[in-house]
């Protein structure tokens, strides 16, 4: 490739070669960043299949959200008080060997958490509001996980990063190509 000199005008070919190189470099950088994100998530346990994470159950006015939760052993569930009424978390049926006692009174000044280690199904209710359907179930099993929250969860974050970087690189390159083909050119001698 020809070396560019200061007093020589920039040709379309030289510009397009530079733009293509920049787009390739941007794509490689985005791919590297996406791979680093995946490695970090695996190291930090964000996508790890084992339990040990935390799930939140909102204690709202006359319902638990989510009402049904699937978790792995070792996961901590936090019942977060968000309603205006007083509630409790009273365990019903639970697996043999489990020692979950629940919480007698949840108010605005406190939340309650418990780490589930025994596999099986745990049913619980809010005693004052069980008549209006304030019940919940937690299924503890290896390989269990909460249901995806929406369509965005179908594509991993690293893939979104790569997609956005690729589209941005393509759009900027094509925009510059259009601009220079339409308005650019080599100066008349």
Return the structure tokens found at 51: 């339990």
Task: Check pLDDT > 70 for residue 178.
Answer: yes
Range list of β-strands (E), the chain: 54-60, 63-65, 68-71, 75-81, 87-91, 103-106, 112-116, 120-125, 135-140
Measured at the alpha carbon of residue 63, what is the angle toward residues 60 and 69, in degrees to the nearest 5?
Answer: 105
Average of pLDDT values for 67-89? 89
Please answer whether residues 141 and 70 qualify as being in contact, where contact means their C-beta atoms are separated by less than 8 angstroms. Answer: yes
Higher pLDDT pick, 31 / 1: 31
pLDDT of residue 151: 53
Backbone angles phi, psi at 46, to 5 degrees: -65, -35
pLDDT of residue 46: 46
**Whole-angstrom distance, CA of residue 65 vs CA of residue 150:** 16
- Name the most confidently modeled range: 16-25, 39-48, 143-152, 156-165: 156-165
Helix/strand/coil for 79: strand
Alpha-carbon Rg for the chain in angstroms: 28
Is residue 116 classed exposed, middle or buried when 0-12, 13-18 and 19+ CB atoms within 10 A define those classes? Answer: buried
Task: Check pLDDT > 70 for residue 1.
Answer: no
């Amino acid at each position: 490739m020809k070396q560019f000199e200061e007093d020589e005008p920039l040709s379309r070919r030289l510009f397009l070669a530079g733009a293509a190189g920049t787009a390739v470099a941007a794509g490689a950088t985005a791919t590297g960043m996406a791979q680093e994100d995946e490695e970090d998530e695996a190291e930090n346990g964000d996508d790890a299949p084992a339990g040990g994470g935390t799930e939140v159950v909102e204690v709202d006015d006359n319902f638990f959200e989510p009402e049904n939760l699937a978790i792995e052993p070792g996961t901590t569930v936090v019942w977060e008080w968000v309603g205006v009424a007083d509630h409790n978390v009273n365990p019903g049926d639970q697996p043999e060997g489990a020692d979950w006692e629940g919480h007698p009174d949840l108010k605005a000044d406190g939340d309650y958490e418990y780490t589930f280690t025994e596999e099986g199904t745990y049913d619980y209710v809010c005693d004052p509001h069980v008549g209006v359907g304030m019940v919940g179930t937690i299924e503890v099993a290896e390989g269990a996980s909460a249901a995806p929250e929406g369509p965005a969860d179908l594509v991993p974050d690293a893939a979104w990063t790569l997609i956005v970087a690729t589209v941005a690189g393509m759009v900027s390159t094509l925009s510059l190509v259009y601009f220079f083909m339409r308005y650019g050119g080599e100066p008349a001698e």
